[in-house]
Chain A
């Protein structure tokens, strides 16, 4: 018998003939190959096993300690036969005995494979355990310090293009929260951040409103006086990652 096949040790009792058991007692030898069905298995899977003894007679009604080879591994899944699992012994559809698994001995290949996986899992855990205090925590602390120092606009927009920060800060400081900010140019990049940071101001494409409109969607268009440019409706223009303000 291959050492690669898993085995179980179990205590089992065969039913007496009066209880519906076999007429003739079985012998504990490799010629006997019944099926086991684990209690509680919703699918009642038949698990083929092979006895391994040297021909001892298994007296019905008495408890016997026997060793079984899980003969169809790995084609059949025997995971349910863990120590403590209760089962019935079947010959076809007929129940001839019952038992409980005492010990499970995996094959050598399985033992090796599982040890390898457990070692890898331990390596993964050690790696993760050292990373959280050594990397994740200090980096997060530095990031939060940076956020608090620079403010949300400086933190987000400043990382992308520091020269765009004043434009976004001006919009937040000088325009009412319910206003509509016109935008133009590229929308990807800093414009994405600006629109989110300036909530609840609405960002509307410049060409969607007439030149002399003062409102859109019932809300005022953002207006301000810019040094050297005069007073007018503000337009935030995106150019790659940079933002600048224009007057319309």
Chain B
């Protein structure tokens, strides 16, 4: 009962975000100024929708804690309250103190505060200085509305609230998945005590960066995959392209893993693709507007979403199970072949599709020469305990250990999402136009931070309950008579 209430409470924030994102993007597309009451209304709709949402259930029923383990959730709650309190105070005590928080996110939030629309020189005139002009607008929209309602400082309370939503999601999802409350509390605490959340630089809760919101959305998607909950996955896929540019490839990855994991229900894949397509339908016309000059293939992500839906459905429904790996290998080989035979047209095509990426053969060969530095940078980033603690070494241990130690994964799709996301972060270094040193020092850690939430979720869902060797306290006999 308490877990169901906590899960609904955790879902209020994602649901409100979905409602606000859909409404605000639609209004901006229609050229209508955003009303100031839109955010409270979205919050109200979120509360009602969360109350109406079906609480997922699994076959695993957690056993109750005994002895000292009973104190673990209470201890965790005290520590979490302290951590959230610190972040809350750090958020509202001064305006932005971090670079990107100021120049990239809060700056645009000023221009999007209600009543505002996109018909202002800041968005329409390319000669006006606008940092990150083509970045998605969800965080500036929410922050602007919140600051319009609560003032410039207290409006920044959205950041600790997002952190609270993340913490609640991890705790309740692990509980619903069947972990004892002590293990669920440890998992939540491990996520919340990731040192980077409390650093004074990029990615911290109170820094104003969009990393936290992206982590919340990825957590919604990850929890949906773990619990096989189609709505949650759809919300994640819908919100991902609206939060950060990285959200689009993450959404594609989410659709892929949901499609290829046969332990996930079909509807989850369909809803994921549907969510992504709706998100793109709202975002792509706005991005074209913001970019001033529409790129040649501005609608390619939408085509990609549709292709993903059809392709994955065909591959998993029509083809026999054994043929799927062969099909994937064939597609990969064909891609390599096309890249080798037609490098120039492909380079032009990719440059049109993703103007922010460096995809030239020269650039990639230069990166190849820097391979040792790059690999060392990856290792340093993944093992950097002062930022991520021990999550990535732990994840590596569980993934690479022989299966007799940890058994099968609780959900292959979640493994695919986390591993694929980390691999994407590593791969993005190859295609970044920035210098390698700068990329590894200032961006790579944030790309890894995105996966901290789903990674802790995976680790605890994997090991939780494996080693329980206890007699169930509430274990009645199945019949009244014992055998003689």
Chain A residues near B (Cβ < 8 Å): 4, 11-13, 38-43, 45, 58-59, 61-64, 73-80, 82-85, 98-107, 109-118, 120-121, 123-125, 127-129, 131-132, 135-137, 139-140, 143-144, 147-148, 152, 155-156, 183, 187, 191-193, 195-197, 199-200, 202-205, 207-208, 217
Contacts and interface: CB of A to CB of B under 8 A. Distances in A.
B293 interface: no
29 contacts: A62-B482, A63-B482, A75-B408, A77-B410, A79-B178, A79-B410, A79-B465, A82-B178, A83-B475, A100-B475, A103-B469, A103-B470, A103-B472, A107-B404, A113-B401, A113-B405, A114-B466, A127-B193, A128-B193, A132-B86, A132-B193, A139-B199, A143-B97, A144-B90, A193-B103, A195-B129, A203-B129, A204-B127, A205-B129
B481 to A, nearest CB: 6
B481 A63 contact: yes
A140 B410 contact: no
Contacts of A76: 408
B116 to A, nearest CB: 12
Given A100-B472, A140-B86, A208 B127 contact: yes
Contacts of B403: 74
A110 B478 contact: no
B427 interface: no
B193 A84 contact: no
A12 B463 CA distance: 27
Given A104-B470, A217-B125, 20 more contacts: A13-B478, A45-B59, A61-B481, A77-B407, A85-B61, A101-B472, A113-B406, A113-B463, A113-B466, A114-B466, A117-B397, A117-B463, A118-B463, A120-B390, A120-B393, A132-B83, A140-B200, A204-B127, A204-B129, A205-B129
Contacts of B407: 73-74, 77-79, 110
Contact of B200 (A131, A136, A204): A136
Contacts of A82: 60-63, 178, 465, 468, 472
B95 interface: yes
Contact of B408 (A12, A74, A195): A74
B107 A196 contact: yes
Contacts of A40: 57-59, 61
Interface residues of B, number: 80
B198 A131 contact: yes
Given A124-B390, A136-B86, A156-B102, A83 B63 contact: yes
Given A124-B391, A200-B110, A202-B121, A84 B474 contact: yes
B447 interface: no
Nearest to B460: A121
Contacts, number: 246
Interface in B341-389: 385-386, 389
A77 B171 CA distance: 22
B320 interface: no
A89 B375 CA distance: 52
List the 5 closest pairs (A to B, CB-CB), nearest first.
Answer: A128-B193, A41-B59, A113-B405, A208-B127, A83-B472
B335 interface: no
Contacts of A4: 404
Nearest to B406: A113
Interface of B: 57-63, 79, 82-83, 86, 90, 93-95, 97, 99, 102-103, 106-107, 110, 121-122, 125, 127-129, 131, 178, 186, 189-190, 193-195, 198-200, 228, 385-386, 389-391, 393-394, 397-398, 401-408, 410, 459, 463, 465-484
A79 B58 CA distance: 11
Contacts of A204: 121, 125, 127-129
Contact of A104 (B62, B82, B469): B469
Majority secondary structure of chain B interface residues (helix, strand, loop or mixed):
loop
Contacts of B465: 79, 82
Contacts of A42: 57-59, 228
Nearest to B90: A140
A43 B411 CA distance: 14
Which of B61, B82, B106 has the most C-beta atoms of chain A within 10 angstroms of its own C-beta?
Answer: B61
Given A110-B406, A111-B467, A125 B193 contact: yes
A109 B389 CA distance: 25
Contact of A148 (B94, B200, B469): B94
Nearest to A159: B99
B59 A80 contact: yes
Contacts of A191: 129
Contact of A136 (B131, B199, B466): B199
B110 A125 contact: no
A217 to B, nearest CB: 4
Given A74-B404, A84-B63, A106 B103 contact: no
Nearest to A2: B404
A104 B214 CA distance: 38
B392 to A, nearest CB: 11
B185 to A, nearest CB: 11
A56 B69 CA distance: 38
Contacts of A59: 483-484
Given A104-B469, A155-B97, A183-B129, A63 B63 contact: no
Contacts of B128: 202-205, 217
A61 B107 contact: no
A143 to B, nearest CB: 5
Nearest to B187: A121
A152 B178 contact: no
A218 to B, nearest CB: 9
A195 B59 contact: no
Nearest to B471: A103
Which of B59, B61, B63, B401 has the most C-beta atoms of chain A within 10 angstroms of its own C-beta?
Answer: B59
